[in-house]
Amino acid sequence: MKDPIELRREFHRYPESGWTEFRTTVRILEELQALGIPVRWGRQIHDPARMLGLPEPQVLEACWQRAAEETGREDLLAPMRGGFTGCVAEIRGALPGPLTVLRVDIDCCEVAESTTPDHRPVREGFASLHPNCMHACGHDAHTAIGLGTAVRLWERRAELPGTVRLIFQSAEEGLRGAASMTAAGVLEGADRLFGLHVGILPGPVGRVAVSARGFLSSTKLDVVFRGRSAHAGICPQEGRNALAAGAKAALGLLAIPEGFSEVCRVNVGTFRAGTGRNVIPDRAHLSIETRGETARVNAEAEAAAREVCRAAAEEYGCTVEFFPMGGAGGAVCDEALARRAAQTAKETSGVTEVLFEVPFGGGEDVTTMISAVQARGGEATELVLCAGHTVPHHNGAFEIDEAVIPLGVELLTRLAMESR
- Give the shortest CB-420-to-Zn ion separation in angstroms: 29
CA distance 154 to 92: 8
As measured in angstroms, the least distance from the Cβ of 197 to Zn ion is 6
Of 137 and 405, which has the nearer Cβ to Zn ion? 137
206: alpha, beta or left? (left if phi > 0; alpha if psi -120 to 50) = left
Shortest distance, CB of residue 174 to Zn ion, whole angstroms?
A: 11
Any residues with CB less than 8 A from the CB of 108 and at least 6 apart, and which? 15, 16, 17, 128, 133, 134, 135, 136, 137, 139, 140, 173
Nearest residue (CB) to Zn ion, 133 versus 137: 137
CA-based radius of gyration for the chain = 23
Site for Zn ion in 71-90 (CB under 5 A): none
Count of residues that interact with Zn ion, criterion CB under 5 A: 1
In this structure, the strands spanning 379-385 and 192-198 are: parallel
Q: Give me the least distance between CB of 348 and Zn ion, in Å please.
A: 22
Spell out, one character per residue from 335 to 374, where the chain touches Zn ion: x when CB under 5 A holds, - when not. ----------------------------------------
Nearest approach, Cβ of residue 143 and Zn ion (Å): 12
- Residue 348, exposed/middle/buried by CB under 10 A (0-12, 13-18, 19+)? middle
Question: Binding of Zn ion at residue 387 (CB under 5 A)?
Answer: no
The dihedral region occupied by 361, where left means phi > 0, alpha psi between -120 and 50, and beta the remainder, is left
DSSP 269-335: EEEEE-S-TTB---EEEEEEEEEESSHHHHHHHHHHHHHHHHHHHHHTT-EEEEEEEEEE------H
Residue 370: CB minimum distance to Zn ion, A:
15
- Nearest residue to Zn ion, using CB? 137
> Which C-beta is closer to Zn ion: that of 105 or that of 334?
105
Select 199 or 329, whichever has its Cβ closest to Zn ion. Answer: 199
The pair phi, psi for residue 221, each rounded to 5°, is -130, 145
Q: Among residues 42 and 195, whose Cβ is nearest to Zn ion?
A: 195
- In the complex, least distance from residue 186 CB atom to Zn ion, rounded to whole angstroms: 19
Task: Work out whether strand 87-92 and strand 161-169 pair parallel, antiparallel, or are unpaired.
Answer: antiparallel
Footprint of Zn ion on 131-150 (CB under 5 A): 137
Binding site for Zn ion (CB under 5 A): 137
